Structure formats: structure tokens, C-alpha cells
A and B are shown apart, each in its own frame.
Chain A
Amino acid sequence: MAQGHDAHAISYKTYFMTWVWLLVLTALALGIGYAPINETLKAFLLVGTTLAKILVIAAVFMHLRYERLNLILITFAPLVLAIIMFAFTFPETLGTSTHVIQVR
């Protein structure tokens, strides 16, 4: 069976430019990490740059942009399940803090 992306040979120049962009995003993440800003804002910015990096890697290096939507949707499953798991566990950490305050 012919593969979806076989007909879309990606040039070495595209790979090189993707590599450059990934390095730029890494430098940006490093800058955010050292920036004297609010921790919550820092977390949001780091999540943003991280998602941008994985989207670039998945789309270009892993050729997902040339795959069928059925396959692309499957690859999002871990991200969705991770968000659900985070949403279910994180409130417990807030409860601990509240409890400590009440004890005082």
C-alpha cells in the first residue's frame, strides 16, 4: 500500500530549518526557565513552548502532517489521558495545603 507521505518527500532544507526552529524554541524555553517571573506564568509559558516543540517534531520529523486523520487522532490519546489524570490528581495537592492551613 502506498504511504500517504511517500508522495510528499520532505527536503533536507526543511529538516534543517525545523532543526533551527527547535533550537530557537529550546533557547526560548531556557530563557523562560531563568526569567524572574511568576511560577504559574512560567509553567504556562513552558507548557506552550513544549507543546510547540512536540508539534513541530511530530509534524515534520515524524511525518504526521502527511498521515491520515485517523492515525493523527490516536497519537493525541496520551496527551488527553495525561490531562485527565492530572485533573484528577492535582486537586489532592490543593487539599493538602488547605489541610495544613486548617491545622494551624
Chain B
Amino acid sequence: MNASIAEQQRILASDWGGGRSPFGTTWSKFMMWIFIVSDALTFAGFLIAYGFMRAISPAWPEQTEVFNMVLITFMTFALISSSAVMAMAVGAARAGDPTLAVRFLAMTIVGGIIFLGCQVYEWAHFIGEGARLTTNPWGVPQFSASFFLITGFHGFHVLSGVAILAIVAMRAAVGKYSADGVENAGLYWHFIDVVWVFVFAFFYLL
């Protein structure tokens, strides 16, 4: 009997025995990671489709001549900076300092809004030059289709990220403070940054 109990305890103590999380994390954070992984697959599909279309196109516009690269670089700077501040917000939340966490969250939100403002300007400029989802003045329909789909999908993630961060910050400001909540929102925000790193390199620079 004692041997049976000991065996049961040994199994429960193992990684996959059901007695503890094999991933050593809370369910909410693990679910956020699962969401990030599935969302990353969607973006991977977009980027690979873009690569495919570009490879089969006989010509492709020179991006550095079409886009304002100073603006795109500034957008990258804004998003990377907001990601760094977001990491500090998680640090402050974990350290039990909600006031500082809310300040960092507010700075992150400002970074996101700056990014979105630049993207609205970029879209308006691109549309003003005659680009549409299926046609554009450069004669390669896939070019503008890729641009609108990839940056639009990413921009929507930034917009929803700003909304999530605003909710987390407001809850923290009124005392409904959760370090796990801040960390999960932070994971999502960093994921947005990671996706932009890919978009910046493969859509604008390559």
C-alpha cells in the first residue's frame, strides 16, 4: 500500500504526471503563449504568401523609393521603445509597485498611438498615390495587396494591443491590480513588436 502511494506521489511530482504544470507557469500565461503561437502561424502564412507572390512576379517596386523609410524607421523605433517600457511595466508590477507600472503602461500606450498615427499617415499617403487593394500605379497588384493585408493585420493588432493595455492600466490605477494580467498583456505587446521586426526586414528592406 505504501509503495503504491509512493509511486502515485512520484508520478504526480513528475513533469507530465498531472500533479503540476509541465510548463511551470500559470494557465493564463500558458494560454497567452498558445494564442501567440497560433497568431504567429497566421502572420507566417501572410509573410510566406508575400514571399511567394514576390518570387513569381517578374518585377517588384523598389520599396525604398515608394515608402518614406525615415518614417518607417521611426515607427520601428517607437514600437521597440514601447516594448522596452512595457517590459519595465511588468517588472514594476512584479515588484509590487502599481503606480510605477501604470506610468510605464501609459508610456507604452503612447508609443503604440504614435505608431498607429504614423501608420495612418503612411496608408493615407499610399492611397493618395493611387494604391488600392487590387491595383496600383507601379503595375504589380500583389505589391499593394501585400502591403494592405500585412500592415493592416499588424496595425489591427497594435490597435487591439493599445485597447488591452488601456484596460489593464485603468484596472491597475483603481486598485484592481494583477501582476499576471500586466505580464500577459506585455507578452502580447512584445509579440506585436516581434511581428513588426519581420515585416520591417522582409517587406520594407528586402
Contact = CB atoms under 8 A, between A and B. Distances in A.
User: What's the dominant secondary structure at chain A's contact region?
Assistant: helix
Interface string A34-51: 100001001100110110
B23 A46 contact: no
User: What's the dominant secondary structure at chain B's contact region?
Assistant: helix
Contact of B52 (A1, A58, A89): A89
Given A3-B25, A18-B84, A89-B48, A33 B206 contact: yes
Nearest to A55: B194
Given A23-B80, A50-B198, A86-B48, A71 B23 contact: yes
Contacts of A1: 20-21, 24-26
Q: Which of the four size classes fits the interface of chain B?
A: 35 or more
Interface of A: 1, 3-4, 6, 9-10, 12, 15-16, 18-19, 22-23, 26, 29-30, 32-34, 39, 42-43, 46-47, 49-50, 53-54, 57-58, 60-63, 67-68, 70-71, 74-75, 77-79, 81-82, 85-86, 89-90, 92-93, 96
21 contacts: A3-B25, A10-B87, A10-B91, A15-B91, A19-B84, A26-B77, A29-B205, A33-B205, A46-B205, A54-B197, A58-B194, A61-B83, A61-B186, A61-B190, A70-B24, A71-B30, A71-B33, A78-B41, A82-B41, A90-B51, A96-B56
Interface of B: 15, 20-26, 29-30, 33-34, 36-37, 40-41, 44-45, 47-48, 51-52, 55-56, 64, 69, 73, 76-77, 80-81, 83-84, 86-88, 90-91, 94-95, 186-187, 190-191, 193-194, 197-198, 200-202, 204-206
